[in-house]
Amino acid sequence: MSRARETYFCLRLVEYTSIPLAFCIMLYILSGYGIISPIFSLVGLTYHVSVRIHTLPLLRFVTAVLTILHTYGGVVLILSRHVRNEKIKELIKLSTLVVLLVFLFLIVLSELRTVFSLT
């Protein structure tokens, strides 16, 4: 993939993941406050509703995947704008990809353990 196409792709990736990621993070923050503060019950976020939202496996997984995609796209965009040395750029890109894949692997293992109740 050419550098221009890669940059364009990553720009779109960051744009398309930003709003859903912000929504997921806001759900986590609001439900977290709903767990620790009774004030949120005024808007329907009782303790029990907040716990159910905060511990949803799908929300956890979607948030993690969106974070990984957004991070990779953002790193590539920053590299394309600020790093001129191609070898350093490729090294940082590769190391970011490895870290994010390990992160994804750990998340998938954790979710499989949770879903299938493995001990």
Spell out the per-residue pLDDT of the chain, length 119, in tens. Answer: 788 899 999 999 999 999 999 999 999 999 999 999 989 888 888 999 999 999 998 999 999 999 999 999 999 999 999 999 999 999 999 999 999 999 999 999 988 887 777 65
Q: Show the tokens assigned to 60.
A: 């956890």
CA dihedral (110, 112, 116, 119) positive or negative: negative
First to last CA, the chain: 43
In the chain, what are the domains? 3-115 (1.20.1300)
Which of the 8 DSSP states describes residue 116? T
Closest alpha carbon to 80 in 92, 89, 69 = 89
